[in-house]
Amino acid sequence: MAGNCFGQIFKAITFGESHGAAVGCVVDGCPAGLALDADTVRRELARRRPGGSAASTSRSEADEPEILSGIFEGRTLGTPIAIVIRNTGQLSRDYDKLKDVYRPGHADMVWEIKYGLRDHRGGGRSSARETAARVAAGAVAKAFLAENGVTVNAWTRSIAGISAPDPGCGDFDITEKNGFCVPSRDTAAKIAAKIDELKAAGESAGGVVECRANGLPVGFGEPVFDKLDALLAQAVMSIGAVKGIEFGAGFGSAAMSGSESNDRPLAGYAVPARGGSDNGGRISYSGNNSGGVLGGISNGNCLAFRAAFKPVPSIAKKQLTVDRTGREAEIEIEGRHDICVCPRAVPVVEAMTALVLADLMLRGRAARL
Amino acid sequence: MAGNCFGQIFKAITFGESHGAAVGCVVDGCPAGLALDADTVRRELARRRPGGSAASTSRSEADEPEILSGIFEGRTLGTPIAIVIRNTGQLSRDYDKLKDVYRPGHADMVWEIKYGLRDHRGGGRSSARETAARVAAGAVAKAFLAENGVTVNAWTRSIAGISAPDPGCGDFDITEKNGFCVPSRDTAAKIAAKIDELKAAGESAGGVVECRANGLPVGFGEPVFDKLDALLAQAVMSIGAVKGIEFGAGFGSAAMSGSESNDRPLAGYAVPARGGSDNGGRISYSGNNSGGVLGGISNGNCLAFRAAFKPVPSIAKKQLTVDRTGREAEIEIEGRHDICVCPRAVPVVEAMTALVLADLMLRGRAARL
Amino acid sequence: MAGNCFGQIFKAITFGESHGAAVGCVVDGCPAGLALDADTVRRELARRRPGGSAASTSRSEADEPEILSGIFEGRTLGTPIAIVIRNTGQLSRDYDKLKDVYRPGHADMVWEIKYGLRDHRGGGRSSARETAARVAAGAVAKAFLAENGVTVNAWTRSIAGISAPDPGCGDFDITEKNGFCVPSRDTAAKIAAKIDELKAAGESAGGVVECRANGLPVGFGEPVFDKLDALLAQAVMSIGAVKGIEFGAGFGSAAMSGSESNDRPLAGYAVPARGGSDNGGRISYSGNNSGGVLGGISNGNCLAFRAAFKPVPSIAKKQLTVDRTGREAEIEIEGRHDICVCPRAVPVVEAMTALVLADLMLRGRAARL
Amino acid sequence: MAGNCFGQIFKAITFGESHGAAVGCVVDGCPAGLALDADTVRRELARRRPGGSAASTSRSEADEPEILSGIFEGRTLGTPIAIVIRNTGQLSRDYDKLKDVYRPGHADMVWEIKYGLRDHRGGGRSSARETAARVAAGAVAKAFLAENGVTVNAWTRSIAGISAPDPGCGDFDITEKNGFCVPSRDTAAKIAAKIDELKAAGESAGGVVECRANGLPVGFGEPVFDKLDALLAQAVMSIGAVKGIEFGAGFGSAAMSGSESNDRPLAGYAVPARGGSDNGGRISYSGNNSGGVLGGISNGNCLAFRAAFKPVPSIAKKQLTVDRTGREAEIEIEGRHDICVCPRAVPVVEAMTALVLADLMLRGRAARL
């Protein structure tokens, strides 16, 4: 039972293999009346395209989205929005050697065992190429959220252990201007040096991406299994290479005491009487250890989480592995690979977050009579 | 749109408020023919019951499960299995003071804003009492997994910053015998002392629970959104108080290099020819930084993850908060509360893990012709 | 993959076998704030209880619903509403003979082949007893619809080929007062005579149930697969013994010409400007061949459909069949059986209709920005 | 909450408006290893294309399917199969007059009220053009079923009240050779004459399509809501213009007695012992009033149902209707329209049936341990 549909009301279905004809998505459930065009999608895809920095692959993808349905005279019809992005930059010959040998840290072997066959060219469906479709779907979700005053911003918090200082909940123009999406020029420079060093050694790096959503009213999240943080955890963990996620104080909270950990609400916010707005407003708190979620419901604070990405498993260095017959084999991975996925993962994390928030916003409409 | 159903094929639906008549679950989709009785459920519920240690509430719950349907002559019929657990130990009067004032770190305020009303007695649906229903459903999932050679074990890895050494993938009889579910007598003693200290100070503690599944064949997980780790992340993050989850090397992998991070498969395993078993077998690796998951699919290694729990927000210490009118208010929380949820959360983490694995085992049956 | 969950937002999950401890349901997704108590459910269950006429079984069921969760101080909390109805009138001994022989027209044999085992006492899960849980869930849906001005009424249109005249879209007090739920005293008398005749012959009868919903605004139904009529067709066909369903002119429309078949909208209704009410209002038409549905969306006309029920397969007459070994066997079915299910099916058809409408009402909230 | 996804495991998602860039589908959940290419899809699309008879529109569509993903070296990968069919024959100018006036019998008005805007060119998403995507998805389902020995055949049983004799469960080569898909040369000739007459009068016709599936083993269908007949009812009723569906004796069974209605199983079939095949075999019955379904589960008999189609609402004759302001208006519908949809609906009914059967075949894999 395949798992290529995400969401309950605002749904994204993605398709496409790395070296097939195209990747793409169908967004089903986007409300009618939203202003939307191909530019909205193109802008987000451009942020994911390689080439921003030394950390990125040199594979060049046009990433030109074609919207096949769901839009009429510049507005969504309430019908499925199908978006196709042709694969144009793939070089299948790079992968001929990988037919019978399994790359360590990749899904090659498990995919073949599970399905009985696989598209060995560039990882097929398990390639990071697949995330272009997520970004396209996420662009629609972002447009819907923006219409409702909600913005989602992610950035690289650290690469190869080199961390930027906490940028708080503010704006992050700076992150788009360096190649690493790091909210600090200083840190970006240190990272650049480290990346060069790893590249020379035939190595790769991991990192941490941080994400915040501003303008989120109280009430997003459906207890008990579809809590805001639970669905975000699924959404973000489903991005290849993510190995962990934490909200607010996260793993740090495990060592706190109760009085340290509790964010207390500050005076000035009154709960509306029954029948009032189902959005509530913004509430101020003494801190944000919760990451903006209480009991699985957004609490009016800034939504804040971090995701850990493992190093890119495709490295230039020679590695030991096994082949299809179970014998030990040496492997040297050619092709054009990112050194660290974090900069290009930033819009993917935003996209998955936006998909969760758009869906929960619509689900929340059924909470009251 | 409420979120009380979990799973696609093997589904658990839970219900019940802390101080209502009962909590319970319906398991829909458990295959026919599984040997099952109330004892199987009772045993798991007993592990979650309070009273194991100084860390636990003194609320006493009989936690007697009644199976209303789905079993005939000791075997599952393939029909829904409804299990009811009556609430017997609740004392509503403890909560009268909480009608108009919001406990910091709890969902009281956001719940009232979202739904327009709430059951203020003990948190209602957002109480940890709700997890008894998860454990009951999980007991069914565990029985199904055991029939297929898969076992799930969790334990407390740390409380209040005091950590046990890594117990590896072995057996953990010791964990059930101390009150904290810590796989080390030494660490348990240190934790006991720390808990006493926190209790005296009117404080509470957080901790980390670790979980492993053994015997898991290659192939669990449905790319791209319903990856094994993605669904586990949703499942575990949906447990109240969890603030983070990480697989294998987790956040640590963000600072590794590619060659450090990659686990390489060891010689000796041959991929079956097309048409072979869809389970594959066990594969040996040079390490387990992946936590047993590659590309969202189980890779034959031991499944391994950790979850961070925040400190119990209900503390004896006086706290500042707000009341319904938005004015600052002092709160002193009475009632019987856990100091740290970790020991009692252990069977809940196992239950949620088992529900994910049972569902993915059945979903995997549709992977091939 | 079991199919005991119905609905997308307003969900009903049912459980229970005919001769097990109980049948019941969980309603997940009912909005918070709805006034509801056990009496609302009890009233509907009473309409389904046997004993109204000579057509019904003499099995007596108390059908006392216990609401275990989801209600606080007389209002729904937005959490799952679990309702349990204990089985009290079952006599398992009636069924001992049926262990090894299959009743014609029943699911005994196919159930055993599909699942490998079955509860042979009274059909187990495939018994009509299961519909009590549907009625309980439907009672919640009806209360939600009533709050929104929508009412659902069904009645028996014919039994054993004896038809009542078309009662139009009006009120039907008369139907509740004769034992057959027929909207005509005259027809009821004819049917009573026919039923006596069939009973004496050890036979049973089929019939047609008709259903209308009044007050339904324009806009219920989600193209393209979840059209109003498509979901109603699933809902009603899922009731045991239903062999067909038709809307408006139904099968009759297959022989009409286009100008006969088209209902034309009458002047006087203006479509609201963008941003207007998403409910629209009532629209008048020249007729109702459509049955109140156009393109899968309610069109403001009265919703109208008919369902055909086959005769009760359990008849007193001796029948030929096969046993477990595949040999021909004679069967004489004892126990207490309805002669015709139609009167008791009336509240079940209403319940399933109400579940569809409640769900589509909530789904419709996501149609626009 | 849009309804463009169909199925639980074998899922079809469709998209596209009549006069947009394309229609198409994504099939998610088709098992890996199935031989499939564009020809398989093209053949089915050709059967739906207009031009077979006087009953069809003269709009000409190339209906060339492009498979964008999910296939590698001629076999399915287990990943989503995206298929795009460009719209090439649309003439939007035909529809300029329909911007402000609503066609009787169409969804124009209700669509605009529900969504606040609509694509007025040819009905947009509610056009019969949408069914091309269903046929494409159904072609994949049919290939999967054929691999498992199941075939699905539909034909026109009657048009404008002129009926063909019952063709039984046999082969129907003849149906593909006349323009009406009627399994009788004689009836086809009578229908042709009637269609000419209606055309001259500016009228249209309805009809009945009949469908049978052969080779279906016992066990398809998931009680209680997802019964085989219930899901087929949803699937078929979701096709535009369908007003009713009946299985086996259908509405006729409402007037039968129990002993007439019951099909009795014939000696010779033994239920396999526990652990045996979960398919069971074919069972012979004394008749087929059940239409091949008992208790919602396929019973080994030939699956048989009929669907009633209303006349095409777009007729050449002048009609009265209303405009956007609610005033009475005359309408004369130009453009190229079918006189009767039945011949072209035949492959659509087959496609929807195949989608239900493919999904239930996979769901059935989870029925037993």
Instruction: Give the closest-approach CA distance of B29 to chain D in angstroms.
Output: 8
Residue of higher predicted confidence among D120 and C312: C312
Q: Looking at residue B269, what is its pLDDT?
A: 72
| Nearest beta carbon to residue B69 from set C16, C26, C67 | C16
The model's pLDDT over C57-81, given as tens digits with 9 standing for 90+, comes to 666 778 999 999 999 999 999 999 9
Instruction: Give the closest-approach CA distance of B120 to chain A in angstroms.
Output: 14
Contacting residues of C for A78, CB less than 8 Å apart: 367-368
Contacting residues of B for A282, CB less than 8 Å apart: none
Residue C160 lies in a domain: yes
| Nearest beta carbon to residue C3 from set D205, D226, D254 | D226
pLDDT at A338 over 90: no
Average pLDDT, chain B: 91
Instruction: Give the closest-approach CA distance of D10 to chain B in angstroms.
Output: 9
Size of the A and C interface in Cβ pairs below 8 Å = 49
- Cβ neighbours for D277, distance < 8 A, ≥ 6 positions apart: none
| Nearest beta carbon to residue D117 from set A21, A32, A81 | A32
A22-31, B144-153, B332-341, D13-22: segment of lowest average pLDDT: B332-341
Residue B59: C-alpha distances to residues B19, B50, B75, B196, B197 (Å): 12, 7, 34, 18, 21
Residue of higher predicted confidence among B9 and B334: B9
Instruction: Give the closest-approach CA distance of C226 to chain A in angstroms.
Output: 12
Closest Cα in chain D to C240: D295
State the residue range of the domain holding C74: 5-259+284-364
Write out the H or E segment, with its range, that includes residue A167: none
Local confidence band at C334 (pLDDT 50, 70, 90 cut-offs): confident
Peptide bond into D224 cis (omega under 30): yes
- The verdict on a CB contact (< 8 Å) between C1 and D8 is yes
Q: Looking at residue C241, what is its pLDDT?
A: 96
> pTM for this one?
0.97
The model's pLDDT over A220-269, given as tens digits with 9 standing for 90+, comes to 999 999 999 999 999 999 999 999 999 999 999 999 999 999 999 998 87
- The verdict on a CB contact (< 8 Å) between C369 and A274 is no
Write out the H or E segment, with its range, that includes residue C159: strand C151-159
Residue A279 lies in a domain: no
Inter-residue contact A232 to A305 (CB < 8 Å): yes
Q: Give the mean model confidence (pLDDT) for residues A41-56.
A: 83
Q: Which chains touch A (3 or more CB pairs under 8 A)?
A: B, C, D
E-only strand ranges, B221-339: 242-247, 293-294, 297-298, 303-309, 319-322, 328-331
Contacting residues of D for A362, CB less than 8 Å apart: 1
CATH code where residue B99 lies:
3.60.150.10
pLDDT at D174 over 60: yes
Residue B319 lies in a domain: yes
Report which of C296, C309, C298, C291 is spatially closest to residue C346, judged by C-alpha positions: C309
Amino acid at D314: S
| Nearest beta carbon to residue B369 from set D147, D223, D274 | D147
| Nearest beta carbon to residue D225 from set C3, C106, C324 | C3
Q: Give the mean model confidence (pLDDT) for residues C314-333.
A: 92
- The verdict on a CB contact (< 8 Å) between C274 and A369 is no
The model's pLDDT over A99-128, given as tens digits with 9 standing for 90+, comes to 889 999 999 999 999 999 988 887 899 999
Report which of B347, B292, B337 is spatially closest to residue B138, judged by C-alpha positions: B347
- The verdict on a CB contact (< 8 Å) between D31 and B369 is yes
- The verdict on a CB contact (< 8 Å) between C116 and B22 is no
Q: Find the chain D residues whose C-beta atoms sit closer than 8 A to any C-beta of B.
A: 8-10, 29, 31-34, 78-79, 144, 147, 223, 274, 362-363, 365-369
Phi, psi dihedrals of residue C196, rounded to the nearest 5°: -60, -45
Instruction: Give the closest-approach CA distance of A227 to chain C in angstroms.
Output: 13
B304 by DSSP, 3-state: which?
strand
Contacting residues of C for B125, CB less than 8 Å apart: 77, 79
Residue B40: C-alpha distances to residues A65, B216, C216 (Å): 54, 21, 48
Q: How far apart are alpha carbons A210 and A232 in whole angstroms?
A: 13
Q: Give the mean model confidence (pLDDT) for residues B338-361.
A: 96
Q: Looking at residue A168, what is its pLDDT?
A: 78
Residue D134 lies in a domain: yes
The model's pLDDT over C70-116, given as tens digits with 9 standing for 90+, comes to 999 999 999 999 999 999 877 666 677 788 899 999 999 999 999 99
Q: Looking at residue B278, what is its pLDDT?
A: 42
Q: Give the mean model confidence (pLDDT) for residues B218-233.
A: 97
Question: ipTM of this predicted complex?
Answer: 0.96
Instruction: Give the closest-approach CA distance of D67 to chain A in angstroms.
Output: 8
Contacting residues of D for B34, CB less than 8 Å apart: 369
Q: Looking at residue C204, what is its pLDDT?
A: 97
Q: Which chains touch B (3 or more CB pairs under 8 A)?
A: A, C, D
- The verdict on a CB contact (< 8 Å) between A244 and B243 is no
Contacting residues of A for D77, CB less than 8 Å apart: 17, 115, 117-119, 124-125
Residue A273 lies in a domain: no
Q: Find the chain A residues whose C-beta atoms sit closer than 8 A to any C-beta of C.
A: 8-10, 29, 31-34, 78-79, 144, 147, 223, 274, 362-363, 365-369
Residue D265: C-alpha distances to residues A226, C322, D261, D299 (Å): 47, 6, 13, 10
Inter-residue contact A344 to A277 (CB < 8 Å): no
Closest Cα in chain A to B7: A225
Average pLDDT, chain C: 91
Contacting residues of B for A292, CB less than 8 Å apart: none
Q: Give the mean model confidence (pLDDT) for residues B8-25.
A: 96
Helix, strand, coil percent content, chain B, rounded in steps of 5 = 30, 25, 45
Token pair listed for A61: 């993808």
Where helices occur in chain C by DSSP H, the ranges are: 38-48, 108-115, 131-147, 173-177, 185-200, 228-237, 258-261, 342-364
C189 by DSSP, 3-state: which?
helix
Contacting residues of D for C258, CB less than 8 Å apart: 105, 203-205, 311-315, 317
Residue D175 lies in a domain: yes
Residue A101 lies in a domain: yes
The model's pLDDT over C200-249, given as tens digits with 9 standing for 90+, comes to 999 999 999 999 999 999 999 999 999 999 999 999 999 999 999 999 99
B176 by DSSP, 3-state: which?
helix
Contacting residues of D for B78, CB less than 8 Å apart: 367-368
Place of tokens 């395993």: B269
The model's pLDDT over B273-319, given as tens digits with 9 standing for 90+, comes to 543 344 445 689 999 999 999 999 999 999 999 999 999 999 999 99
| Nearest beta carbon to residue C9 from set B1, B78, B362 | B1
Instruction: Give the closest-approach CA distance of C360 to chain A in angstroms.
Output: 11
Structurally, chain D folds into a number of domains equal to 1
Q: Give the mean model confidence (pLDDT) for residues B55-84.
A: 90
pLDDT at B255 over 50: yes
B68-77, C191-200, D48-57: segment of lowest average pLDDT: D48-57
A43-47, C238-242, D202-206, D267-271: segment of lowest average pLDDT: D267-271
Local confidence band at C297 (pLDDT 50, 70, 90 cut-offs): very high
Helix pair B228-237, A228-237: axis angle to 10 deg: 160
Q: Give the mean model confidence (pLDDT) for residues A151-158.
A: 96
Contacting residues of D for B144, CB less than 8 Å apart: 369
Contacting residues of C for A33, CB less than 8 Å apart: 274, 368-369
Q: Looking at residue C359, what is its pLDDT?
A: 98
| Nearest beta carbon to residue A319 from set B248, B264, B268 | B264
Token pair listed for B290: 């992946």
Inter-residue contact B174 to B184 (CB < 8 Å): yes
Q: Give the mean model confidence (pLDDT) for residues A284-290.
A: 95
Contacting residues of C for A79, CB less than 8 Å apart: 223
Q: Give the mean model confidence (pLDDT) for residues D151-175.
A: 87
Q: Give the mean model confidence (pLDDT) for residues D212-219.
A: 94
Residue B265 lies in a domain: no
- The verdict on a CB contact (< 8 Å) between C308 and D251 is yes
Place of tokens 């012959």: C201
- The verdict on a CB contact (< 8 Å) between B366 and D274 is no
A1-15, A224-238, B4-18, B270-284: segment of lowest average pLDDT: B270-284
Closest Cα in chain C to A358: C366
Closest Cα in chain C to A278: C32
Q: Looking at residue C278, what is its pLDDT?
A: 42
- The verdict on a CB contact (< 8 Å) between A22 and D82 is yes
Place of tokens 């019969």: D128
C184-193, C308-317, D22-31, D51-60: segment of lowest average pLDDT: D51-60
